[in-house]
Amino acid sequence: MENRKGKFITFEGPEGSGKSTQIRLLAEYLSSKDYKIELLREPGGTEIGEKVRAILLDVKFDRMSSFCELYLYLAARAQLIEEKIIPFLNEGKVVFCDRFIDATIAYQVCGSGVAPDFVDGFQKFVAAGLTPRLTILLDIDVETGLKRAASSHPQDRLEKKDVIYHQRVREGYLELAKKNPKRIKVVSSLASIEDVQKKIRGLIADVFK
Ligand code: TMP
């Protein structure tokens, strides 16, 4: 299903790609133009989802099984879709989501090797085919990204996974972009914050025409 009345835009990227900063700057810019933006994040964005997030990112659960991890991400997403995304889109709002389904494909399918059928089933039966109108993929090489992330906050459970895992995640994202060139736009986040923001504003201009 496409975007109902509102606009659903997602932001993705490997660790340390600077998504949060760019989303904040973009939301401030669009708010100054009188757009009402709803900012959400995954996992999280609801009271239940934030609790699930705390479990998912807790370093003490370093032995979490791949399926436990998958289902927790999907559980948080199911709640977010029903409680926030669908109602907001039905009200005609602009919804920015910091990660969505592509993250599950990049991390759990490409990174951890979970079969894509589980994600497809969720998309079909729980998300009812909800697909972002546009996805900005902020790309960064794994070494630089992990270094950036480590310098800004203590490493979480996912960030602690090895470099090879994160390389599979990045390649997974780039592969997704290749398969969905109309929806997923890749922006290198190696440029300055201002230049990256300029590029993103150029890409979203189409949606806000
Ligand atoms: P964040 O760093 O963007 O807040 O995301 C939290 C972590 O969760 C990040 O390491 C990516 C990971 N993640 C998945 O592994 N699968 C998912 O479906 C989502 C939404 C996030």
* Count of structural domains, the chain: 1
Q: Which atom of ligand 1 is nearest to the CA of 76?
A: 20
Q: Does 185 map to a domain? A: yes
pLDDT digits (tens, 9 = 90+) for 11-37: 999 999 999 999 999 999 999 999 989
Q: Does 1 map to a domain? A: no
For residue 62, the domain's CATH number is: 3.40.50.300
94-to-10, 81, 154, 165 alpha-carbon distances in Å: 11, 14, 32, 33
- Using a 6 Å cutoff on CB, does residue 43 contact ligand 1? yes
One-letter identity of residue 90:
N
Mean pLDDT of the chain: 95
- Over range 31-47, report the average pLDDT: 95
- Using a 6 Å cutoff on CB, does residue 189 contact ligand 1? no
Q: Does 111 map to a domain? A: yes
Q: Does 72 map to a domain? A: yes
Q: Does 28 map to a domain? A: yes
Global confidence as pTM = 0.96
Best probe residue, ligand 1, of 21, 40, 99 (max atoms within 8 Å of C-beta):
99
pLDDT digits (tens, 9 = 90+) for 155-169: 999 999 999 999 999
Q: Does 141 map to a domain? A: yes
Q: Does 2 map to a domain? A: no
Three-class secondary structure of residue 25 per DSSP: helix
How many angstroms separate the CA atoms of 129 and 122, rounded?
A: 9
Q: Has residue 75 got a pLDDT over 90?
A: yes
Among residues 178, 182, 199, the alpha carbon closest in space to that of 190 is found at 199
Domain range spanning residue 147? 7-208
